[in-house]
Each structure stands twice: as structure tokens, then as C-alpha cells.
Amino acid sequence: MEEDQSLRIDVDAVLEAKNPKLARRLPRFVKSYLKRIVHQDTINKFLEESKGKQGIEFVEATIKFLDLKVEIEGFENIPDSGRYIFAANHPLGGLESLVLMSTVNKKFKDFKFVVNDILMFLKPLAVLFLPINKHGSQSRESFTLINEYYASDYQILYFPAGLVSRKIKGKVQDLAWQKSFVNKAVEFKRDIVPIFIEGRNSNFFYNLSRFRKFLGIKANIEMLYLADEMMKQRGKTIKIVFGEVFPYTNIDKSKNATEWAAYFRNLVYSLQKSKNNQKK
């Protein structure tokens, strides 16, 4: 009999697999709460209805399920013939990746999104992902695969922060951007497209993150609420602004890679200011 590989959320199974003793000791109301905040029943119903959909078809189905509207600015100015790294801020934790893939797909059918390898369990989206190991060294096979795609004509999508935005000094913004995309741009002669994505999670999410840090807890427990945050975005409009293409040949020795990463981060947030000024 063929094993069922369909994607579904099962809190009980995850708890049992990760920590059987804890799973048996957890009160039923705690398990019920966990199922509620990850919207287990609602999301599983959608996954069942979307069974068989893969790649961009699944992306579009998810956007439709969440009733998202998308406002796009500047994408028409991106030349069709380039090889790019699309570098964006990471404000929401998931939805913006769907919006970015959907938008890029309108012009570029071949692309890969660089993601944490643990996201490869999202089988319907795995075909669009380029996995990297964020908590250890890359295997030789993984290193080769990554470089093959950077050397190819595929477009590369990237969240250089690596983590969803937090509230820093009263503003929702990315953590420091990692420098690897700058090095890859130079090594593989790829121009960089800066992208600003408008959005924020709830105050609860940011307050929980701050409280967790205050207590000295290293585990990002606020990430448990990302599914809940995603559902709170239903029916909303996601705005995405594409900046001008930045030639890789302009990445010179005036800054090191870390400084260039910070430069591109600032460039992305300047797109937000530019957009706001246009409204006045």
C-alpha cells in the first residue's frame, strides 16, 4: 500500500514524535489551545481541498484561500533578460513569501526561494525552494546544488534577515541582514533587486517576543503564533514595492560584505519612505 504523503497539521502527532513523555503529561486543554492557535482544523480543510496542487498552483490557491489582495509597484521596470537576486524584508513570516513568488512568477517562471531546510516539509512548495542548513554546515551535495542554481538562469528570491521582523526601537523592522547574498551576487554576477513588502504582525506577537527575551528564554516561542498571525491577515492587502536594479558591478571595495548587506537593508526601507512621500 502506498504511504499517504499529503500535508496536514497534527499537533498530537508532533508532540508524540518530539517528546512522548511531555505529550502524555500535557493537559487536554493545553493541546486544544495549541490546535486552536495553529488553526489545525481550518488549515487541514484547505490542505485537503488543495491536494494534488504543487508549486505556483499551490501558492495561488493559498493566496485565494486567504483572500489576499496584492498591490504591486515598480515590477514593470525590471528588465526581462536579467539574472537577479530579489532581496526583500521579512515582515510577516510566510504570507509575503507567497506574494513575492506569485509576483515574480508573472514575469519569471523559473525561480528558487532560498529557505531554511526545515521548510522542505511543506511538500507542495518544496519544488520552489532552495534549502540551506541554518544550524550547521552544508553537505557537499547541498553546497553544489546551491551553487548550481546561482550559476543558472533561475531567479533567486531571498530574505537576507533570515528571521521574521521584530519591533526594534518602536518600529517593525528586520534584524541585521546576513551578507551571504552579497557574496553570491558578486561571485555569480547577479544584479540585486531591492524589495520592500509592507506589513506587520499583531502587537501580541511583538510583545511576546520582547517578554520572552526579557525572561532570557532563547527559544523563539512567538513562532508558534505565526499561523494565527497569518489567519489574522485574511482579506487584507499586501503591498510590494520593487526598487531599481542594482548592478553587481557596483558592489565595490568601498564597503565589506556586511556593510553592503546593511546598505541594501537601508535601501529597502527607503522604498517605504519613497512610497509614503508619493502619497502626500
Q: Quick one: residue 268, left, alpha or beta (phi over 0 = left, psi -120 to 50 = alpha)?
A: alpha
Q: Do 63 and 45 reside in the same domain of the chain?
A: no
What CATH number is given to the structural domain containing 82? 3.40.1130.10
Same domain membership, residue 64 and residue 45: no
In this structure, are 6 and 120 located in the same domain? no
CA 157, CA 108: separation in Å to the nearest integer? Answer: 11
**Residues 233, 134 share a domain:** yes
Strand-strand pairing, 69-73 and 191-197:
unpaired
Q: Where are the alpha helices (DSSP H) in 66-223?
A: 95-105, 123-126, 140-151, 180-187, 203-214
Residues linked to residue 87 through DSSP beta bridges, in sequence order: 158, 194
Regarding whether 128 and 4 lie in a shared domain, the answer is no
Residue at a domain's end among 49, 72, 88: 49
Residues 40 and 137 in one domain: no
- Please write down the long-range contacts of 203-206, taking CB distance under 8 Å and 24 or more positions apart: 205/229, 206/166, 206/167, 206/172
Q: How many domains does the chain have?
A: 2
**What is the Cα–Cα distance from 187 to 157, expressed in whole angstroms?**
16
Query: Rounded to an integer, what distance in angstroms lies between the CA atom of residue 212 and that of residue 267?
Result: 30
On whether both 20 and 77 belong to a single domain, the answer is: no
Q: Given this model, what pLDDT does residue 120 score? A: 84
The answer on 272 and 152 residing in a single domain is: yes
Say if residue 175 is in the same domain as residue 213: yes
Note whether 101 and 240 are same-domain residues: yes
**pLDDT tens readout for residues 153-174:** 999 999 999 999 999 888 999 9
pLDDT lower than 70: segments of the chain: 1-6, 134-138, 274-280
Give pLDDT tens digits for 185-202: 999 999 999 999 999 999
Predicted local distance difference test score (pLDDT) of residue 4 = 47
- The answer to whether residues 252 and 124 belong to one domain is yes
What domain range is 73 assigned to? 55-279
> What is the C-alpha separation between 219 and 221, in angstroms, rounded?
6
What percentage of the chain's residues is helix, strand, coil (to nearest 5)?
50, 15, 35
11 and 132 within one domain:
no
Closest CA to 269 of 167, 195, 200: 195
DSSP code of residue 75: G
Q: Please name which of 208, 32, 176, 5 lies closest in space to residue 15, comparing C-alpha atoms.
A: 32
